[in-house]
Amino acid sequence: MNNHEIDYKIIGEEMQCVSIELDPNETVISESGSLMMMEDGIKMETVFGDGSSRGQSILDKVFSAGKRILTGESLFMTSYTNIGSLKKQLHFAAPYPGKIIPIDLSLHNGKMICQKDSFLCAAKGVAIGIEFQKKLGAGFFGGEGFIMQKLEGDGMCFIHSGGAIIERQLQYGEKLRIDTGCIVAFESTVDYDIEFVGGIRNTIFGGEGLFFATLTGSGKIWVQSLPFSRLASRILAGAVGRRKEEGSVLGGLGNLLDGDGR
């Protein structure tokens, strides 16, 4: 294996974290801000790019970091190395309610394609790059799926999804239509494209967007029930709009009675 081998445990149900056990000299990399806690004897270091470009030229490192900018991520990542002689533990927390998905890249042809903001952490040596969609339609109309991350290597990586997670094994030629924001990850053998919803009423009044993502097998896919963009839009709508009393015949009068008379 080219990647560091790490042991792990997923903790929690709705607000999960992953506990990683590092042997001496083992390293894990993560996005900045995802660390929850770590034991003494672990060295934290900010690295340029994805941490897998050490030993390469400066130009390679700049190119690796530039790819991360295109996915909306920081130029830097953080590495955590066990510099002691005993095993050490550290924990990484999910940013919002959902599930942490452990993926062994060696079991998925060494490559996984995922949403650009779903990566949490990985064993050192996993390369985090970008995956441009080959088809023009997917590129222009894919929404969250326009530019996706690709994780390459033969080690463990951890990605995060919102809400509940559904795993599905697509058979050869099997096609599934999915809301573009609900895709979490899929194997590199799965074909990704965009399909127009169709119909005037569906387009104007459907409320589901103009396009579906289509995933065609064979290969494994992961789908989330609560994309962060959907969660954020509902929170924003509730924060700036007037509160409605669901199921109440009093409506606005109910707001006056409970003290919310804005």
- Tell me the whole-structure pTM to 2 decimals: 0.79
Q: Which residues contact 235 (CB under 8 A, 6 or more apart)?
A: none
Token readout for 41 is 């004897």
Which stretch of 38-52, 133-147, 185-199 has the lowest confidence by average pLDDT? 133-147
Q: Which CATH number fits domain 7-236: 3.60.160.10, 3.40.50.300, 3.55.50.30, 3.30.450.20?
A: 3.60.160.10
Q: What is the pLDDT of residues 201-251, one digit of tens each?
A: 545 554 455 678 889 989 999 999 988 777 777 777 777 765 555 544 455
Contacts within 8 Å (CB) and 24+ apart, 226-232:
226/97, 226/98, 226/162, 226/163, 226/164, 227/144, 227/162, 227/179, 227/181, 227/182, 228/96, 228/117, 228/162, 229/144, 229/181, 230/162, 230/181, 231/96, 231/162
Which stretch of 7-21, 52-66, 81-95, 108-122 has the lowest confidence by average pLDDT? 52-66
Would you state the pLDDT for residue 206?
47
Is 99 a residue whose pLDDT tops 60?
yes
Token readout for 262 is 């804005």
Is 149 a residue whose pLDDT tops 70?
yes
Would you state the pLDDT for residue 65?
60
